[in-house]
């Protein structure tokens, strides 16, 4: 994984959100570019969470670490979508019934992956032009009502593009 880097520096803080999270501010704490990057996403009404992370440029995603140190609350079944920031629970859940749905990956996490010890390898060819990634947590390791995530790290590489916002005019 030597040529792949943590993509945290490419995260667009304005494009980070999580549905069914107990505390909205924890999303920015966990995924922000600055600060401690310590936070906790805890589900509110049930075990489902729907995390959306936008990037400030197009990236390729190779793998991720997603989990919580207490196994019973850690994610078990997840589904990963790309470039669908408008995704909601109905669409994410319906897509589980469709084998050829829009999801790029449907995964059952091992215990080591769920606590963030092992990386979750993705089919790299499916994650080549990512502007945003959505992670749907369907269940947790204990099949309980509360899911928690205290680690979200995405690994990959940028597709070297020029940010037009940073492009200066030439002076005469």
- The domain limits of the chain are 5-158
Instruction: Supply the pLDDT for residue 51.
Output: 96
The per-residue pLDDT of the chain, averaged, comes to 87
Spell out the residues 6+ positions from residue 80 whose beta carbon is closer than 8 angstroms to its own.
103, 104, 105, 106, 107, 122, 133, 134, 135, 136
Alpha-helical runs (H) found in the chain: 25-31, 89-96, 111-114
pLDDT tens sequence for the chain (172 residues): 458 999 999 999 999 999 999 988 888 888 865 545 568 899 999 999 999 999 999 999 999 999 999 999 999 999 999 999 999 999 998 765 555 467 899 999 999 999 999 999 999 999 999 999 999 999 999 999 999 999 999 999 999 765 555 555 555 4
Look at the domain 5-158 and name its fold. Answer: Jelly Rolls (2.60.120)
Q: What percent of the chain has pLDDT over 90?
A: 72
How many Cβ atoms sit within 10 Å of the Cβ of residue 125? 8
Residue 113 phi/psi, 5-degree rounding, is -70, -40
Contact 51, 154 (CB under 8 A): no
Assigned token pair, 70: 């207490």
Q: In the 8-state DSSP scheme, what is residue 6? A: E
């Amino acid at each position: 994984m030597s040529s792949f880097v943590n993509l945290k520096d490419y995260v667009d803080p304005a494009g980070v959100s999580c549905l069914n999270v107990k505390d909205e501010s924890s999303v920015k704490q966990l995924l922000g570019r600055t600060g401690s990057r310590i936070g906790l996403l805890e589900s509110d009404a049930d075990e489902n969470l729907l995390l959306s992370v936008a990037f400030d440029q197009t990236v390729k995603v190779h793998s991720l670490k997603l989990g919580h140190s207490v196994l019973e609350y850690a994610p078990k079944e997840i589904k990963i979508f790309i470039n669908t920031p408008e995704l909601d629970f109905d669409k994410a859940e319906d897509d589980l019934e469709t084998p050829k749905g829009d999801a790029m990956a449907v995964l059952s996490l091992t215990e080591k992956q769920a606590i963030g010890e092992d990386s979750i390898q993705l089919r790299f060819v499916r994650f080549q032009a990512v502007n945003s990634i959505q992670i749907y947590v369907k269940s947790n390791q204990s099949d309980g009502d509360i899911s928690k995530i205290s680690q979200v790290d995405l690994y990959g590489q940028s597709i070297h593009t020029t940010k037009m916002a940073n492009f200066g005019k030439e002076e005469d």
